[in-house]
Structure 1
């Protein structure tokens, strides 16, 4: 079974979370915070910053680990490390992404309870994330293993 290490950025700006829409009609359509695979000997925190910039043109600073996520599908298993990341600079632009196969068609900043229509991944973002954010994320939390939708 193939294994992959991935990271994601939980970026807040004015109490709104950055989400990107991944869409290939007839195959998948979901929203998720920016993120992707860790490359070679790259530090995970640097991968968070790079992936966020590639996907949205937003500059961030990875602060600390919030969640450890495990996803499985027909191609293998992915362990995703979700980091809290601080907004540094930039405005959203999704058309500069060098990874065109990702099919990111839009992105935006969304407040709690005002997420876009459709599937928003990971599920923890709907409620628990906001509660843990308010309590200061005492320690990283392991999310349950789930089947990937894409």
Structure 2
């Protein structure tokens, strides 16, 4: 089983969370905050901010480690570090992502009560995240291990 280390950014702007849609017909269709694999000796917070820019064109600043997530999927086992991040600047543009295999087709800003239909990853974005955001993420939270197949 392959192991992956990745980081993502929970970017909030005016009470709205930045999400990216990953879509390939017949294989997967889900929304998630921007994120991806760490490169070389890159620190995880830098991974989160780099991936956000690559996937969305948004510049953000990672502030605090919010969640540690574990996932086993068809590709292997991934540990993902989710950072709360502040919006700095930029407009959404998903056309410059160098990782074409991610199939990022759109992105947007979503309020708590207006998250997209379908699968949103990680699951806590439909509930607990918003309470943790209000409390300022005082300490990282370990999320339960999940087994996943790509949702379609």
Q: 1:56, CA displacement in angstroms? A: 0.1
RMSD of Structure 2 on Structure 1 (CA): 0.8
State how 1:1-150 maps to structure 2 within 5 Å.
Answer: 1-150=1-150
* Structure 2: distance between partners of 1:76 and 1:21: 21
TM-superposed CA distance for 1:29, in Å, is 0.1
1:19-68 Cα offsets, whole Å, 9 max, x none, are: 00000000000000000000111111111111000000000111110000
Counterparts of 1:6 and 1:94, CA distance in 2: 20
Once the two structures are superposed, residues 83-111 of structure 1 have per-residue CA deviations (whole angstroms, 9 ceiling, x without a partner) of 00110110000011111111000000000
Q: Distance in 1 between matches of 2:27 and 2:117?
A: 17
Q: Could you tell me how far apart the structure 1 residues matched to 2:67 and 2:11 are?
A: 14
TM superposition shift of 1:134: 1.0
TM-score normalized with structure 1 length: 0.97
Runs of 4+ in 1 over 3 A off after TM superposition: none
SS at match of 1:113: helix
TM-score by length of 2: 0.96
